Chains A and B, each alone.
Chain A
Amino acid sequence: MTDPLTNLQCPIPISDYPTVTLAHGGGGRLTQMLIERMFLPAFDNPQLVQQHDGALLEVNGARLAFSTDSFVISPLFFPGGDIGSLAVHGTVNDLAMCGAQPLALSTGLILEEGLPMEDLWRVVQSMQGAAQAVGVSVVTGDTKVVDRGKGDGVYINTTGIGLIPAGVQISPTRARRGDLVLVSGAIAVHGIAIMSVREGLAFETTLASDSAPLHEMVREMLAVGGDHVHVLRDPTRGGVASALNEIAGSARIGIRLNEAAIPIWDQVRGACEILGLDPLYVANEGKLLAIVAPEAADAVLAAMQAHSLGREAAIIGEVTEEHRGRVVLRSRIGGSRVVDMISGEQLPRIC
């Protein structure tokens, strides 16, 4: 430890992973390992260690949320959206999960040589349409082009800043025993919609991605719940299971879920059954999880259900002091099991 040269060594043993694998970006345990062993020590600072969806910065008394997200989705256009609208919603939602209302966005576009100009125009228009609907502007940007074959058409980064209203205190570490876990609607829709149009897995469905901006619903929730809203999280990659595991880990609390209470559409359940996937690990792009003090839970739930994006909102579990750091689910038939963080990507089963 005293030798400064040891710091030059890669903190992730080469023998374990000499190269980056797709699983390092899957939002599960390997992503967590990259963050904990490489990024946190390297960039060490008090904002980053909170592992929130965005950083909280205080500037002359104003509290700002600051967040960034990159989008590498294939295909670029999918039922219910495209990479452009997704890139706007993703960062707006990261800000919303800090309790913030968005002020401005930046974007970085990485384009692949040969991308049809028509496709780029569709993506840009879609970004603008999404930003306009949210009421936020893309105020700065950058463009790079890479050689043919070195990109997937378009990669987009968006970064956003937002303002956190006075009295709002959202943080993953604020989950307390007795708090209730709320979800804003049916889970796993985005992941299954995308999978249904991917090469190799194409199957017929009328599902469309749930990609949507959540800041308005968050504003309504905070208006009735205020300081009683302890944690917000959008369960994107890695799904509900991974998001709740992260919260259980940061707050050192246990979470107990009731499987029968978790809203899920039959189409999504059917696809998951066929493919051998667990919907708790499938990505969402227009849903949020809220951990709320019990005295405010009914009011917050009512505010969610009153909003068009939260009609199917439900209370799906509670925070406990047992099994700290773990999520345990009561199954439909009354048994119980641990819901672990995902390891790598979920892979469809053989039979």
Chain B
Amino acid sequence: MKYVDEYRGEAEAQRFVRAIHDTVTRPWTLMEVCGGQTHTLIKFGIDAMLPKQVTLVHGPGCPVCVTPLELIDKAIAIARRPEVIFTSFGDMLRVPGSSTDLLSVKAGGGDVRMVYSPLDAVKLAQKHLDRQVVFFAVGFETTAPANAMAVWQAKQLGLDNFSILCSHVLVPPAMEAILGSPDSLVQGFLAAGHVCAIMGYWEYEPIAARYRVPIVVTGFEPLDLLQGIYMTLRALEEGRWGVENQYARAVTRDGNQAAQRLVGQVFATGDRQWRGIGLIPNSGYRLRPEYARYDAEQRFEVAGIAAQESPLCIAGQIMQGLKKPHQCSAFATLCTPERPLGAPMVSSEGACAAYYAYHRTAVDVPV
């Protein structure tokens, strides 16, 4: 299949694997920022093909995983209201809140619907003018333009029955938080290619310079990742830092300007809580005051809801790269995809779920 098979060739993959083995002379720790990259690495067995000196840690780039527990509780409270049609991307539906998840709200009679695009939620609002349609606007810079477009369209259409529960987070502040942590082990980054397709990569240049790390903008196919890893390792071995772009077929330095303009029109940056990590200054988007009437938190008065994380879950340490999923005492025993204690076990992009699904032979844990 075009644009896929080219990036999944066995011979080319093996060539990169050999080049990586030839390049590495000492131990290095890299972080792939995005959950989609974690997924590819493990789904194709790439991590096991790398030299033992190379450690990959799985970054905080899974939107499902970093959405705070209390926001999920808010979503559940809104979804339970009889006048609400609650819409969401598929993988948010199973994320556990403090006591239940959105799929269970649906089982209990709530009108919870999976959509593939926030614009479909706007269409639902047009179709059901007597109901309140809420979209769970989760994600990184990648999903922000479509979510901004949904709000913008709702305003143009004069829809009073559409709102979003907004939990947008941004990659560069999270990378800075990781690099600024005294415990950080990360020496080089594979930056999230799709985030950079929207935002460009100029934002990463000062980070690379300040912390003297190589950052390679990397795609999501197996060959993308192998090449990104190779480029990062070569920079490390040669003592270079700075930003390089592996994913040039999709990413430019300046990104998608039209998308950025729309996002800037609808959203403003502000502080955000990250599940498992905590508050990171200026690390998220909230609706601008002129779009406040599309804010579901205000419309349904759920701002007061607070929540407590499971004390057993070490999601924060996993997403900062301090521990691997199988080093958690609850992994695959108390915490499974059926009974997840924390979000990284829920989303198929979550590091714990990826380890659980594809990796249990290697880490030797009970079935």
Which A residues have a C-beta under 8 Å from some C-beta of B?
Answer: 16, 19-23, 29-30, 33, 199-201, 203, 260, 266, 269-270, 273, 275-276, 323, 325-326, 328, 331-340, 343-344, 347-351
Interface residue B360 (Cβ < 8 Å from any Cβ of A): yes
Q: Are A335 and B46 in contact (CB under 8 A)?
A: yes
A-B contact list, 29 entries, CB within 8 Å? A19-B108, A21-B103, A22-B103, A22-B106, A23-B103, A33-B338, A203-B116, A270-B1, A275-B116, A325-B367, A328-B361, A333-B13, A333-B14, A333-B45, A334-B13, A335-B48, A336-B48, A339-B358, A340-B356, A343-B336, A343-B338, A344-B337, A347-B91, A347-B93, A347-B94, A347-B348, A348-B89, A349-B89, A351-B63
| Binary contact track B181-216/A, C-beta < 8 Å → 1, others 0 | 000000000000010000000000000000000000
Q: Are A351 and B1 in contact (CB under 8 A)?
A: no
Once the chains are docked, how many angstroms separate the CA of A22 from the CA of B105?
11
Min distance, Cβ A269 to any Cβ of chain B, angstroms: 5
CB nearest to B16 among chain A residues: A333
CB-CB nearest 8 A-B residue pairs: A335-B45, A347-B90, A333-B13, A337-B358, A343-B337, A348-B90, A331-B44, A266-B1
Partner pick for A351 among B8, B87, B142, CB 8 A cutoff: B142
Once the chains are docked, how many angstroms separate the CA of A276 from the CA of B49?
24
Partner pick for B49 among A22, A269, A328, A335, CB 8 A cutoff: A335
Once the chains are docked, how many angstroms separate the CA of A283 from the CA of B358?
20
Q: Are A337 and B43 in contact (CB under 8 A)?
A: yes
Q: Are A269 and B4 in contact (CB under 8 A)?
A: yes
Partner pick for B91 among A33, A273, A323, A350, CB 8 A cutoff: A350
Partner pick for B361 among A326, A334, A343, CB 8 A cutoff: A326
Q: Are B360 and A338 in contact (CB under 8 A)?
A: yes
Partner pick for B116 among A22, A200, A328, A339, CB 8 A cutoff: A200
Using A20-B107, A331-B44, A343-B336 as known contacts, list a sample of 11 further A-B pairs with CB atoms less than 8 Å apart, ordered by residue number in A.
Answer: A29-B338, A328-B361, A332-B222, A337-B43, A338-B357, A344-B94, A348-B91, A349-B89, A351-B36, A351-B139, A351-B142
A350-B339 CB under 8 A given contacts A201-B116, A338-B360: no
Once the chains are docked, how many angstroms separate the CA of A203 from the CA of B42?
29
Once the chains are docked, how many angstroms separate the CA of A351 from the CA of B9?
24
> What is the size, in residues, of chain B's interface with A at 8 Å between Cβ atoms?
56
Q: Are B49 and A334 in contact (CB under 8 A)?
A: yes
Min distance, Cβ A95 to any Cβ of chain B, angstroms: 31
A332-B44 CB under 8 A given contacts A16-B339, A19-B104, A348-B90: yes
CB nearest to B115 among chain A residues: A200
B194 / chain A contacts, CB cutoff of 8 Å:
351
Q: Are A349 and B107 in contact (CB under 8 A)?
A: no
B222 / chain A contacts, CB cutoff of 8 Å:
331-333
Once the chains are docked, how many angstroms separate the CA of A340 from the CA of B367?
10
Min distance, Cβ A338 to any Cβ of chain B, angstroms: 5
Once the chains are docked, how many angstroms separate the CA of A184 from the CA of B8?
25
Min distance, Cβ A27 to any Cβ of chain B, angstroms: 14
CB nearest to A198 among chain B residues: B114
Interface residue B234 (Cβ < 8 Å from any Cβ of A): no
Number of residue pairs A-B, CB distance < 8 angstroms: 134
User: In chain B between 313 and 367, which residues have their CB closer than 8 angstroms to a CB of chain A?
Assistant: 336-339, 347-349, 356-361, 367
Q: Are B1 and A350 in contact (CB under 8 A)?
A: no
Min distance, Cβ B194 to any Cβ of chain A, angstroms: 6
Min distance, Cβ B347 to any Cβ of chain A, angstroms: 7
- Select the residue from B10, B87, B142 with max chain A CB neighbours within 10 A: B10
A269-B1 CB under 8 A given contacts A19-B104, A350-B63: yes
User: In chain B between 6 and 48, which residues have their CB closer than 8 angstroms to a CB of chain A?
Assistant: 8-10, 13-14, 36, 42-46, 48
A340 / chain B contacts, CB cutoff of 8 Å:
356-358, 360
Q: Are A349 and B91 in contact (CB under 8 A)?
A: yes
B103 / chain A contacts, CB cutoff of 8 Å:
21-23, 344
Q: Are B46 and A350 in contact (CB under 8 A)?
A: no
| Binary contact track B281-323/A, C-beta < 8 Å → 1, others 0 | 0000000000000000000000000000000000000000000
Min distance, Cβ A137 to any Cβ of chain B, angstroms: 38
Interface residue B178 (Cβ < 8 Å from any Cβ of A): no
Partner pick for B45 among A199, A200, A260, A331, CB 8 A cutoff: A331
A332 / chain B contacts, CB cutoff of 8 Å:
8-10, 44, 222
- Select the residue from A20, A33, A335 with max chain B CB neighbours within 10 A: A335
Q: Are B114 and A347 in contact (CB under 8 A)?
A: yes
Min distance, Cβ B349 to any Cβ of chain A, angstroms: 6
Once the chains are docked, how many angstroms separate the CA of A260 from the CA of B48?
19
B107 / chain A contacts, CB cutoff of 8 Å:
19-22
A331 / chain B contacts, CB cutoff of 8 Å:
43-45, 222
Once the chains are docked, how many angstroms separate the CA of A343 from the CA of B87?
22
A275 / chain B contacts, CB cutoff of 8 Å:
116
A337-B114 CB under 8 A given contacts A16-B339, A200-B120, A351-B143: no
Min distance, Cβ A268 to any Cβ of chain B, angstroms: 10
Interface residue B131 (Cβ < 8 Å from any Cβ of A): no
Min distance, Cβ B114 to any Cβ of chain A, angstroms: 6
Q: Are B138 and A350 in contact (CB under 8 A)?
A: yes
Once the chains are docked, how many angstroms separate the CA of A87 from the CA of B361?
38
Q: Are A334 and B339 in contact (CB under 8 A)?
A: no
CB nearest to B354 among chain A residues: A337
B356 / chain A contacts, CB cutoff of 8 Å:
340
Q: Are B46 and A344 in contact (CB under 8 A)?
A: no
Interface residue B113 (Cβ < 8 Å from any Cβ of A): yes
Once the chains are docked, how many angstroms separate the CA of A333 from the CA of B108?
44
A21 / chain B contacts, CB cutoff of 8 Å:
103-104, 107
Once the chains are docked, how many angstroms separate the CA of A21 from the CA of B49?
39
B44 / chain A contacts, CB cutoff of 8 Å:
331-333, 335, 337
Q: Are B94 and A333 in contact (CB under 8 A)?
A: no
- Select the residue from A19, A260, A336 with max chain B CB neighbours within 10 A: A336
A333 / chain B contacts, CB cutoff of 8 Å:
8-10, 13-14, 44-46, 222-223
A350-B116 CB under 8 A given contacts A19-B104, A337-B45: no
